[in-house]
Structure 1
Amino acid sequence: MSDKISNLPDLLLLHILSSKSLQTNDVVATSLLSKRWRSLWYSIPKLEFHDALSCSYESFLQFIDATLILVDLKSVKMFSLLCDSHDLPPHKVDIWVNAVVKSKLEYLNLWFNSEFGSVVKPLPSTIFKCSTIRILKLLRVKLSKLSTVNLPSLKALHMLSVGFSDAESLEMLLSECVRLQELLLLDVDLPDYEDTNLDIGRLHHLVIAEVPEGLFQIEVFSNVTFLSLKEHDFSPDDHDIPTFCNLTHLEVDLFTLNGWVNMVSCLPSFPKLETFIIREQDFMGVNWSMEPSPDEVPPCVSSHLKTFALKGFEFLKSEFQIVGFILKHAIVLRSVIITTEDYDYPSPEAGRQELLGILSSYPKRSRSCKLFVDVPAKTIYQKVYNKLVEEKDFSYYFEF
Structure 2
Amino acid sequence: MADIISNLPDSILCVLSKHWNLLSRSVTSMDFDYHGGDHGADRWEDRWGDEKACSRFVSSAYFFLLRRRHKDPSFHRFRLRFKSCYNHGEINTLIKHAMQISRRRLQHLDLNLHLFIEVPFFVFRCKTLVVLKLSHLVLKNIFFVNLPLLKTLHLNSVISIKCQDLLQQFLSRSPNLEDLVVQNFIVKNSVANTNTAEKLYRLFKLVTANVDLHLVPLEIVKNVKVLMTDTVCQQDLVFDLQNLVQFVWTQLLPIHQWLLVLEVLRHCPKLQTLANFIQFLKPMKKNQFCHAYFLFPTCLSSHLKSCCLHNYRGSVFEFKFAEYIMQNAKYLRTMKFCFDISTHPYDNSLRRE
Partner residue of 2:25 out of 23, 31, 42:
42
Number of residue-to-residue matches in the alignment: 315
Question: Aligned AA for 2:302?
Answer: S
* Displacement after TM superposition at 1:51 (Å): 1.4
The one-letter code of the counterpart of 1:397 is R
Structure 2 equivalent of residue 92 of structure 1: 90
- Equivalent residue runs for 1:165-176 within 5 Å: 165=161, 166=163, 168-176=165-173
Q: Deviations over 1:321-373 (max 9, x none)?
A: 11111111111111112222241xxxxxxxxxxxxxxxxxxxxxxxxxxxxxx
TM superposition shift of 1:258: 3.7
- 1:31–1:38 CA contact under 8 A, matched in 2: no
Distance 2:158 2:295 in 1: 41
Query: 2:338 — aligned with what?
Result: 339
Deviations 1:17-53 (A, max 9, x none): xxxxxxxxxxxxx986153332220221011111149
Find the residue that maps to 1:61 and give its secondary structure.
helix
The one-letter code sitting in structure 1 at the alignment partner of 2:111 is: L
Letter aligned with residue 177 of structure 2: L
Q: What SS is found at the alignment partner of 2:187?
A: coil
Q: Distance in 1 between matches of 2:217 and 2:95?
A: 33
Letter of the structure 2 residue corresponding to residue 324 of structure 1: E
Give 1:133-148 correspondences, 5 Å limit. 133-148=129-144
For the structure 1 residues 46 and 285, does the alpha-carbon distance in structure 2 shift closer, same or farther, using more than 3 Å as the test?
A: farther
What's 1:352 paired with?
Answer: none
Query: In 2 relative to 1, CA 309–31 (structure 1 residues): closer, same or farther, beyond 3 Å?
Result: farther
Deviations 1:149-198 (A, max 9, x none): 12111100111100012451221122101111110011111248998452
Question: Could you state the TM-score of these two structures normalised by the residue count of structure 1?
Answer: 0.72
TM normalised by structure 2 equals: 0.81
For 1:96, what is the secondary structure of its paired residue? helix
Residue of structure 2 in register with 1:33 after alignment: 16
Q: Is the alpha carbon distance of 1:280 and 1:265 closer, same or farther for their aligned partners in structure 2, counting shifts above 3 Å?
A: closer
Alignment gaps of 5+ in structure 1: 1-29, 344-379, 389-393
1:177 aligns with one of 174, 179, 184: 174
Distance in 1, matches of 2:172 and 2:237, equals: 26
1:46-91 Cα offsets, whole Å, 9 max, x none, are: 111111499932321121011011125742111111124x234232
**Structure 1 residue 295, shift from structure 2 partner:** 4.5
Amino acid at match of 1:307: S
Q: Structure 1, residues 260-319: CA drift from partner, whole Å, max 9, x if none?
A: 3123123232111101111134x4452333244235321101210011111122221111
Letter of the structure 1 residue corresponding to residue 129 of structure 2:
I
Number of the residue aligned with 1:222 = 222
Matches within 5 A, 1:370-389: 380-381=343-344, 384-385=345-346
Residue 247 (structure 2) pairs with residue 247 (structure 1): no
**Alignment partner of 1:224: what SS?**
coil
Note if contact 1:264-1:292 (Cα within 8 Å) is conserved in structure 2: no
d(CA) in 2 for partners of 1:35, 1:154: 37
What secondary structure, in the 3-state scheme, does the structure 2 residue paired with 1:300 have?
Answer: helix
SS at match of 2:209: strand
- Which amino acid is 2:138 matched to? K
Cα–Cα, structure 1 residues 210 and 51, in superposed 2: closer, same or farther, change >3 Å? same
Structure-to-structure mapping, 1:343-358, within 5 angstroms: 343=342
Residue type of the partner of 2:107? E
Partner of 1:213: 213
The 5-angstrom pairing of residues 194-343 of structure 1 reads 196-198=194-196, 199-230=199-230, 232-235=231-234, 237-240=235-238, 242-256=239-253, 257-281=255-279, 283-288=280-285, 289-343=288-342
Asked if 2 retains the 8 angstrom alpha-carbon contact of 1:207 and 1:223, the reply is yes
Q: Which residue pairs with 2:123 in the alignment?
A: 127
Q: Which runs of 5+ in 2 are unaligned?
A: 1-12, 38-49
Q: Distance in 2 between matches of 1:396 and 1:95?
A: 60
Q: Distance in 2 between matches of 1:88 and 1:107?
A: 26
Cα 1:111–1:65, aligned 2, differ >3 Å: closer, same or farther? same
Percent of aligned positions that are identical = 24
Q: When you count strand as a share of all residues, which structure comes out higher?
A: 2
How far apart, CA to CA, are the structure 2 residues paired with 1:131 and 1:267? 39
- Residue 238 and residue 292 in structure 1: after superposition, are their counterparts in 2 closer, same or farther (change >3 A)? farther
Greater helix content: 1
Instruction: Give the superposition deviation at 1:123.
Output: 1.0
Measured in 1, the distance between the counterparts of 2:292 and 2:80 equals: 53
Say what the alpha-carbon RMSD is for the aligned residues: 2.8
